[in-house]
Chain A
Amino acid sequence: MNAHDTQPFEDAGARALWDSYLRKVDALCTVLNPRQRADIQTELKAHLLEGFIQTDAGDEATRLAAVIERLGEPDEFVPSWVEERLLDDAQPGAGARSLLGLLRTNLARGVKQFPFTMLVGLGYLLSFYFFLVAFMKLIFPANVGLYLTPAGIPVLGYVDAEAFREILGYWLTPVALIASILLQILLNRWIRRRFSKRA
């Protein structure tokens, strides 16, 4: 018998239990890539089968139910496991998918995490805006920039007003790019630190 095999039960009740449990697990793993999802499934199948073999009282469904009861409902431990798997990939240079996945699971934990998720979301938007402005400056050099209004209020973006005074000029492109990258790095570190602490 191999953990990669499909379930080995003859009893329909046991088969239903097995399928239902693994379906619940998989539903909690949607933010992971197929390899990570398969890893979790394989390890849990191995656990269930091992427990099933070592539990000898009752019919197949009773034995499997006992193993599942000891193992716990998927929502008791799979979300933490998913976070761990996402953190595996959220090391320096991590892809946006891993980090966004972390945020998604974080948001799912409830409104307590809402301010954190909102701030990070806004941070990413701002970072993207800096990136956008850096390139727009090259396409619309006369209208895109960092300006000061007559009242001295800074405005960053597309401006069509003679009264505004531009500062930075073409320096805006490198400055905005650096700001975008720095903001990304800070946000990524913040996310990693927050999840590492909780883990």
Chain B
Amino acid sequence: MRVAQADINGLFDKWQLQLRKGVLVYLVLTLLEKEDMYGYALISSLSGKLVAPMPEGTIYPLLNRLVRDELVVFEWQIMDSGPARKYYRITRTGRQMLKRMRKHWNQLNDVFQSEQ
């Protein structure tokens, strides 16, 4: 049975979306490991790191989930000029999670390298 090109595109989009969700968590935690960041700055740092462009707003549900899972915490800070900023900070649990993710990522990377 021949699979139509439209089906392949649909399947690829689905796979790419799932992959991006997983990678995004890893990238966000990696950025927050370096410094506390607010939403807009986090998104600006992420832009260019993802091959496929995505609406910037999609980061907010993800941040909400990371807060609920206690991987990050947040704090609103009033600025002297400009809008108030909601700063996100990685927690100890978040760092432990990132360590495990990094290890797993490296293992996957080794598999990919050996397959090429």
Measured CB to CB, the residues of A under 8 A from B are 1-4, 40, 42-47, 49-51, 53-54, 70-74, 76-78, 80-81, 83-85, 87-88, 199
Chain B interface (Cβ < 8 Å from any Cβ of A): 38-40, 43, 54-58, 60-61, 64-65, 68, 78, 81-86
Query: Which 10 A-B pairs rank lowest in CB-CB distance, beginning with the nearest?
Result: A72-B55, A77-B57, A49-B83, A80-B61, A84-B64, A50-B40, A81-B61, A72-B57, A3-B83, A46-B83
CB distance from B36 to the nearest CB of A (A): 15
Set B57, B83, B84: member contacting A76, Cβ < 8 A: B57
B102 to chain A, nearest CB (A): 22
Q: What is the chain B residue whose CB lies nearest that of A46?
A: B83
When chains A and B are docked, how far (Å) is the Cα of A78 from the Cα of B38? 18
- Give bound CA distance, A74 to B58, whole Å: 10
User: Which residue of the partner chain A has the closest CB to B57?
Assistant: A77
- Please report the number of residue pairs spanning A and B whose Cβ atoms sit closer than 8 angstroms: 79
Query: How many Å lie between the Cα of A94 and that of B43 in the bound state?
Result: 32
Cα separation A49 to B54 with both chains bound (whole Å): 20
Complexed CA–CA distance, A4 and B76 (Å): 12
Cα separation A12 to B108 with both chains bound (whole Å): 52
Quick one: closest A residue to B60, CB to CB?
A81
Q: Is the CB of A78 within 8 A of B57?
A: yes
Check A71 against B61 for contact (C-beta < 8 Å): no
| Cα of A86 to Cα of B9 in the assembled complex, Å | 32
What are some 10 contacts across the A-B interface (CB < 8 A)? A1-B81, A46-B83, A47-B43, A51-B40, A72-B54, A73-B55, A77-B58, A81-B60, A84-B61, A87-B65
A72 B61 Cβ-Cβ under 8 A = no
Within the complex, which residue of A3, A45, A81 is in contact with B64, where a contact is CB–CB below 8 Å? A81
Q: Quote the shortest CB–CB distance from B6 to chain A (angstroms).
A: 18
Q: How far is the CA of A28 from the CA of B29 in the complex (A)?
A: 28
State the CA gap A85–B60 with chains docked (Å).
11
Note all chain B residues with C-beta closer than 8 A to A87: 65, 68
Q: Which B residues are in CB contact (< 8 Å) with A77?
A: 55, 57-58, 60-61
Interface centre among B38, B58, B64 (most CB of A within 10 A): B64
How far does the Cβ of A55 sit from chain B's closest Cβ, in whole Å? 11
Given A83-B61, A199-B61: A2 in contact with B83 (beta carbons within 8 A): yes
**What are the residues of chain A within 8 A of B39 when measuring CB–CB?**
43, 46-47
**Chain A residues positioned under 8 Å from B60 (CB to CB):** 40, 43-44, 77, 81
Residues of B within 8 A of A2 (CB): 78, 83-84
